Chain A
Amino acid sequence: MALSKIATNDKHGENSPYFDGWKAYDSNPFHPTKNTQGVIQMGLAENQLCFDLIEEWIRNNPKASICTAEGVNWFKYIANFQDYHGLPEFRNAVANFMSKVRGGRVRFDPDRILMSGGATGANELIMFCLADAGDAFLVPSPYYPAFVRDLCWRTRVQLIPVECHSVNNFMITREALEEAYKKAKDDNINVKGLIITNPSNPLGTTMDRETLRSIVGFINEKNIHLVCDEIYAATVFSAPCFVSVSEVMHEIEHCKSDLIHIIYSLSKDLGLPGFRVGIVYSYNDGVVNSGRKMSSFGLVSSQTQHFLAAMLSDENFVERFLAESSRRLAARHSQFTKGLEKVNVTCLPSNAGLFCWMNLRNLLKEKTFEGEMMLWRLIINEVKLNVSPGSAFGCSEPGWYRVCFANMDDETVDVALKRIRAFVGKETAKPVELKRWKSNLRLSFSSRRFDENVMSPHSPMPHSPLTTLLIFSHSFPTYSNQKSPPKLEICETQTHGVSPVIGLKGCPLYPSIPAFTYDETHFPRTSEMKNKEQLTELRDNLKTSTLLSRRSTTVHVTYKDTESGRIKSRTSMGGHYNSVHQEPEFGPFKEIRIDDDNSWTNLYNMGTLKLQSFIYRYESMGP
């Protein structure tokens, strides 16, 4: 009467040191009055900073609950609802929310949203869809420890780490990817894909556009899948803003969109882990199809779907929540890191997440993982903080620890900081040297010189960071005033879908698209479009144009590059090449003249997107 191999193996990961810390906390939890000497839980990536906003919303919207007098009429319909597609209003609301979190720069098709039991279920589901037992996925280290359970346990898929190092702030390089890929190939392992976490857990950093482009190039070249776990997307609290793969993929020539899959969840961004909302968003029809059937194994309670559909459809609430959450995370992050700096403890510079990646290398008795574990036990037993050692994340260098800061109140953070300062002071006779960090956040264009010689006219994919930069510059000619803007001749445009967007006159069946390309500096986020000056500036910039508005999600454009004479096609936003709605619906365009401030305001109030997404990103590979 034996059990299965899955039941008897250790891949669930609960025997890892990561969980030891939790046990230490469980047996002696800190309480501000009842147990002031207890262990403070800093191993839990929970977002507890904005519950008051949600609670307020609930008080104002009793109808959203099916167990209030106001909402009970919905009970029967909701309790019976078991369609694995999910409530349409829920999927729509999630798609819009995902778009909002990405600054409205991309749109998501509700028909591609698959439900799953939390990101845990979503990650497993995508593995079941993409890989067979024995196949491998590459994963940059350090990575979320439970990936072994989520991605490997029941699927029998294996993970191959792509080693990242502190020397370049743990950025993923093309070389590291190639090396991991080659090693797997040499070992005769079938690599089915790469999974990245952006923003990163445990690093708390976001990936810059160049790195993402390089990654998308890499997986296209190898013809393997790319799973982007973006569950911390809305926790970005300072510049640079979050860049999602859903934006980058549309900027890459010949990107095979059906290789790309996004994992999302409401556990971190909204702080609702109990509700078990996991999302798989795939650009691959086959995955959408079979993944949808698999969601039967982990559907979200219809009660919860109903409630969230109402809350996330309240755009005012969502906007306010996102702005406030980001503000509070920034404040908490600053409180915490500044407190650490007082004793010269540094963290990796970060702009996202619910944690810091703390560097305690200088406190290690020996610079090994044993040394790291020794220090960790000291921190748990003496400092009474449950932090997570880097080795639990598969980090390649000893001495790093992930410290969560959003699952407690300000007072507890101060207690934790006090304890750390006392401990470090005791441990170090002389102050630790404060290391200066290179910025890993974004390539600084002013410090880089545009060098035409690195450009390879025949290579379709960027191979080095420099080439990446070059292409990037090309997409944004305003940055490198060395070339005149590209000349485009629009052949055809198709738009279809349901969400409102704006188009520039001149693109579709209209002549003379203005030959300029705008970027984020010209088109600030919707939420930032507040004052009249900005509106005026925008209007002046575009005074020669007429804007067109219609309800649409996807715009396919075919254009002729007049320099090379090549015909190219582009999907300009939110869309995908293998659209399930192949038939475009042409409806009347509504002309909106931008003569006055009101029309601008109206456009933005309609939930329109930044025009930047609408100008067809032009990538000239030729000389």
Chain B
Amino acid sequence: MGIEIEQPCVELSNVAVSETHGENSPYFAGWKAYDENPYDEFTNPSGVIQMGLAENQVSFDLIEKYLEEHPEEASTWGNGASGFRENALFQDYHGLKTFRTAMASFMEQVRGGRAKFDPQRIVLTAGATAANELLTFILANPGDALLVPTPYYPGFDRDLRWRTGVNIVPINCDSSNNFQITPEALEASYKDAEAMNFKVRGVLITNPSNPLGITIPREVLEEILDFVTRKNIHLVSDEIYSGSVFSSSEFTSVAEILEARENRNAERVHIVYSLSKDLGLPGFRVGTIYSYNDKVVTTARRMSSFTLISSQTQHLLASMLSDERFTESYMETNRERLRKRYQMIIEGLRSAGIECLNGNAGLFCWMNMSPLLEKPTREGELELWNTILLQVKLNISPGSSCHCSEPGWFRVCFANMSEHTLEIALQRIRDFMARIRTETETESA
């Protein structure tokens, strides 16, 4: 009965048909499994628990309380509607001045006042995704390369490569030194890129690291800065988790080192920030680029036309972030709650016999399950991952999705759920480990 329909073949661009966006990787199976059978305490207690999503839901009550206590915020826009016209028409790509100023001081606050940020250098983009792509467009030509330490955020494959045509060359880090970046690894990666005939344009670090959940020590940052200066290349420092460090003093921003060096060679350094993680507002799409390079600031601003932040959202956040009493108490409480969560998961896993990398930041821990692998390979890792997904019903992220050079590591998110759900997840892991132990004992007996 169907109608015969002619389907002519129409060409799309190479970008459109390429797989560089990375969404067809096997890892999305985990998301699918969650989507099809999501855990709910009452309606679906045996469903899959989502531990693959680096979302911060532990401090929403603070923001909600702020909004309830500040009805004047609502009245300037919502009820009174008087400022609506001006706000709706605002399309200057510099962004609302009040918002840029508030962002700059918030970034200072997150760094314990140890670094200064000039609102004039804040470029706004719709999320860190766009910020990273935009910087790559500015720093590199198609076919050039950026060096990125492994393991890294899987989305970088899309953000840095897909539409820009730029390559990522890994800086391989491993567990022997707790995945720290070394001068040797930097040099080796640079040589790899040269061997592939790529022109190296820069190094991109994530500090604190996603997926490791650790900050980069000051001396390592110094080495990296020396390296990029020696090679005369750029340094992009993605610091979107800087407010999610459990103790403010344990984080050193590249901005602090530049200030200590009196901004010598600063024009090669660019910082990416966002409010998606630290304030838990990913839906609002707020990303920023802070560059010490005038030309980059000018060009990035022009490019931000493709990806500006809604003026409505800028307006709301400008007043919220300008309230220092609020931001200070928010940051303090948020750090404390994250630390508590982290302790809870680390201890829970330890009681199940699983060790994690010693972390101090982020919304996740880096779990070592290599002793459980049948084979110490990527396949072995994916097999275990599949078992955890289908039997334990937890969606976690395998290290190979983050290009980790060693099999057996997994990223486990802990801030996108209630404490109660986390307890259930931990109980499932404990049961799983107990079952494995019994099976092994039975086999050996």
Contact = CB atoms under 8 A, between A and B. Distances in A.
Interface of A: 1, 3-7, 12, 14, 46, 48, 51, 54-56, 58-59, 62, 65-69, 71-72, 75-76, 78-82, 117-118, 120-121, 124, 128-133, 135, 149-150, 153-154, 192, 223, 225, 254, 256, 258-259, 267, 271-276, 284, 286-287, 290-291, 293-294, 296-304, 307, 492, 494, 556, 558, 569, 577-578, 582
B13 A131 contact: yes
B163 A154 contact: yes
A58 B163 contact: no
Given A7-B299, A259-B10, A492-B1, A69 B21 contact: no
B299 to A, nearest CB: 5
Contact of B311 (A5, A67, A274): A274
A286 B16 contact: yes
B441 to A, nearest CB: 44
A381 B306 CA distance: 32
A120 B21 contact: no
B57 interface: yes
A62 B79 contact: yes
B84 to A, nearest CB: 5
Nearest to A131: B13
A302 B284 CA distance: 5
B74 A68 contact: yes
A566 B295 CA distance: 64
19 contacts: A3-B296, A6-B138, A48-B85, A51-B88, A62-B74, A65-B74, A65-B77, A67-B73, A68-B74, A72-B64, A121-B307, A128-B163, A130-B16, A259-B10, A274-B310, A276-B310, A297-B159, A569-B4, A578-B7
Nearest to B283: A302
Contact of B306 (A14, A51, A124): A124
Contacts of B140: 4
Given A274-B310, A301-B284, A4 B137 contact: yes
Contacts of A133: 142
B60 A1 contact: no
B87 interface: yes
Interface string B1-23: 11111111011111111000101
Interface string B139-153: 111101000000000
Given A1-B267, A75-B63, 15 more contacts: A1-B232, A7-B296, A58-B77, A58-B81, A62-B74, A78-B283, A79-B282, A82-B283, A132-B13, A256-B6, A259-B10, A271-B88, A297-B159, A303-B313, A304-B310
A276 B309 contact: yes
A290 B295 contact: no
A325 to B, nearest CB: 14
Contacts of A59: 79-81
A46 B89 contact: yes
B280 interface: yes
Nearest to A127: B13
B303 interface: yes
Contact of B305 (A131, A149, A291): A149
Interface in B162-183: 162-163
A81 B283 contact: yes
B133 interface: yes
A407 to B, nearest CB: 8
A91 to B, nearest CB: 15
Contacts of A297: 126, 129-130, 133, 159, 163, 306-307
Interface in B259-282: 267-268, 276, 280-282
B439 interface: no
A223 B11 CA distance: 9
Contacts of A117: 126, 130, 306-308
Contact-size category for B: 35 or more
B233 interface: yes
A426 B303 CA distance: 43
A398 B12 CA distance: 37
B411 interface: no
Contacts of A1: 232-234, 267-268
Given A254-B6, A273-B89, A297-B126, A67 B13 contact: no
Contacts of A67: 67, 73-74, 77-78, 316
B68 to A, nearest CB: 6
A293 B17 contact: no
Interface of B: 1-8, 10-17, 21, 23, 55, 57, 60, 63-64, 67-68, 71, 73-74, 77-82, 84-85, 87-91, 126-127, 129-130, 133, 137-142, 144, 158-159, 162-163, 201, 232-234, 267-268, 276, 280-285, 295-296, 299, 302-303, 305-313, 316
4 closest A-B pairs by beta carbon, nearest first, are A274-B311, A302-B283, A301-B310, A65-B78
B295 A7 contact: yes
Contacts of A58: 77-79, 81, 84
A130 B84 CA distance: 37
A304 B312 contact: yes
Contacts, number: 255
A305 B144 CA distance: 37
Given A51-B85, A76-B64, A298 B307 contact: yes
Contacts of B88: 51, 54, 271-275
B237 to A, nearest CB: 15
B81 to A, nearest CB: 4
Contacts of A79: 60, 63, 280-284
B13 A130 contact: yes
A218 to B, nearest CB: 15
Nearest to B15: A128
Contacts of A131: 13
B312 A76 contact: no
Contact of A274 (B12, B284, B312): B312
A301 B285 contact: yes
Contacts of B68: 69, 72
Contacts of B15: 128-129, 132, 290
A254 B6 CA distance: 8
B141 A5 contact: yes
B81 A128 contact: no
Nearest to B83: A55
Contacts of B310: 274-276, 300-301, 303-304
Given A76-B60, A130-B13, A303 B307 contact: no
A298 B16 contact: no
A177 B127 CA distance: 40
Contact of A294 (B163, B276, B280): B163
Given A48-B85, A58-B84, A79-B283, A296 B139 contact: no
A276 B308 contact: yes
Most chain B CB within a 10 A radius of its CB, from A4, A62, A132: A4
A578 B1 CA distance: 16
A286 B17 CA distance: 8
Contacts of B91: 267, 273-274, 276
Contacts of A294: 21, 162-163
Given A68-B74, A293-B23, A301 B283 contact: yes
B3 A296 contact: no
Contacts of B60: 75-76, 79
Nearest to A278: B306
Contacts of B305: 118, 120, 149
Contacts of A302: 283-285
Contact of A293 (B21, B312, B316): B21
Contacts of A153: 303
Contacts of A556: 3
A126 to B, nearest CB: 10
Nearest to B416: A80
Contacts of A46: 89
A569 B3 contact: yes
Contact of A80 (B80, B280, B295, B313): B280
A272 B89 CA distance: 6
Contacts of B280: 79-80
A72 B67 CA distance: 7
A135 B13 CA distance: 9
